[in-house]
A and B are shown apart, each in its own frame.
Chain A
Amino acid sequence: MRRLALPVLFLFSLGAVLLAPFVGMLSLTPADLWASLSGTEGRIFLELRLPRVLLGWITGATLSLCGMVFQALFRNSLASPDMLGVSTGAAFGAVLSIRYGLAFSFLGIFSGLSLSAFLGAMAATAIIYGAGSLSRERRGGSTLLLSGVAMSFLFGSLNMLIQYGAGYVDTFRMMRWSMGGISAVGFSAPLTALPALVLIYFASRLYAPELNLLVCGEEMAQSRGVPVGKLERILFFAVSLAVGLNVAICGPIGFVGLMSPHICRALVGADHRRLVPASLLFGGGFLVLCDTAARTLWAPAEIPVGVLTSCLGSIFFLWLLLTGKR
């Protein structure tokens, strides 16, 4: 069963990416496309749906891997960047940048928006990390989750403060953006989101054995030869960067990072050498499905996909808490 899991996940992910662009307000068939690749159908497919599906896949995979890394780092399977307020921190950075129009860019890849989101994510991570090492009971316990809740409230209220002071149009933009949504016209958005995924994928692949040991606890990892402090700093930095870059594009999309690694662990086990590809494939395919649902359930209107995932995710979270499957 476990041997089949990875190939099945691969087919699931591939299937989602291949089929989702045909679904929507206007159903397309491969025959339509063939008939008019440069016509209206073709343009809907190539310029709207395909980029959006790709952006959804990249985002889902990124969030899923970030959640997986956080769960190992904090040795707590309820940890993920959104649960711990890192996404809210990133959102705060981004909102600041939208409000005050910090339009600059770094090396032409990182816009002011992504940089501010990254800094916001870093700040939130640093605070939680600090809180975790201050309280000597370490990060396994409730201190961590509660400091994450505090973080969410802190940055959430700062976000509201900025929105309150902003004009009508800006407020609406920030509101919509902070609900989290996948939208893309053309391939520039997916291409901008890709570096975050590449970064977190290679980091977690490279450190898969170390992640396995971190799951066993800080002392166990250290005594097996993992330089725990250094590794934690590298991974926190990578996750903050990936979350920041992604939140800058799609806004905070909740609970994917919490749910996906859980489901994958049930499918392939806890070994990160298998969990990394599984989280990548499942997270990507899962968010594509959610986003397809978000744009078709209520057609012609669209539900922001972040609303949908948070809805599903909070039920999942409760179920985890109540059944003790942590």
Chain B
Amino acid sequence: MKPLLEVKNLGLTLNGQAILRDISFSVEKGEFIGIIGPNGAGKSSLLKCLGRLEDRGSGSVSIDGRDLGGFSAREIARRIAWVHQGSFDDLPFTVREFALLSRYPWKESFAGETGEDRKILSRVFSLTGLDDLADRPLGLLSGGERQKALLAAALAQTTDILFLDEPTSYLDYRHQVETLALVERVNREEGTTIFFITHDANLSLRCARRILALKGGRLFWDGPREDFLSGDLPGKLFDTPFHYFSQTGGGIPYMVPEGLLK
């Protein structure tokens, strides 16, 4: 059987600078993948190449054995939904209007809002707890609420793959926890394959069962999270020593840079 997503010798060079070099891996349906690495390691660039928002890469990316280069924008959007990096507080739409835009890849031109759209929207709003805020403009939400609205919109796109680029970086602790729980639920209950970028490795280790670590545009490490922590790889990845606290209940230690343990 073909893997869901297969990356072969992916490279990206922009203005003479190598952003990504010779990256290969494959992903099965239903995996939860955390992409981590230091600043500038190429995490976002990798995701953009996988979703073909960046099409200047070399090598190949394929979904279900079919090269992504042969997909139209619409076909890709029926497979991959994004929560983009950014705060998006200047978007002039309400939560509902914005989520409805995500139905675009499933619509013919001129088609209005269908009964199915309404059903999907009400489901994602109740999942994200946004029922009461659906008619609120995005600009008037708090950072945490807005991030949920972005996630709700991505879910409304009803794809089997979800790309999350730093979905928690603007959030306080409570909203980080809630957002992660939501993403885990979607992964578990709907079998959605998740790619999750974060600069916070601990966050990634809480939810992602497989870690892809990037450093200097290369694939530094690819494997289960437990193995990632066993060999003090974080220290080598981030170039700073870590201390591991293991009483976390979940069995996955919590890592803190020794320089911050004062």
Contact = CB atoms under 8 A, between A and B. Distances in A.
A302 interface: no
B80 A209 contact: no
Nearest to B81: A223
B53 A271 contact: no
Interface in A81-97: none
B232 to A, nearest CB: 36
Contact of B97 (A217, A223, A265, A271): A271
Contacts of A225: 72-78, 104-105
Contacts of A127: none
Given A216-B91, A219-B84, A224 B101 contact: yes
Contacts of A192: none
Interface in B131-165: 157, 163
B72 A224 contact: no
Nearest to B82: A223
Contacts of B76: 223, 225
B55 to A, nearest CB: 10
B53 A222 contact: yes
Is the interface on chain B under 10, 10 to 19, 20 to 34, or 35 or more residues?
A: 20 to 34
Contact of B104 (A213, A228, A271): A213
A212 B101 contact: yes
Interface residues of A, number: 21
Contacts of A224: 77, 101-102, 104-105, 157
Interface in B96-110: 97-98, 101-102, 104-105, 107, 109-110
Contacts of A271: 93, 97
B3 interface: no
B92 interface: yes
Contacts of A209: 101, 104, 107, 109
A320 interface: no
B51 interface: yes
Interface of B: 48, 51, 53, 72-78, 80-82, 84, 86, 88, 91-93, 97-98, 101-102, 104-105, 107, 109-110, 157, 163
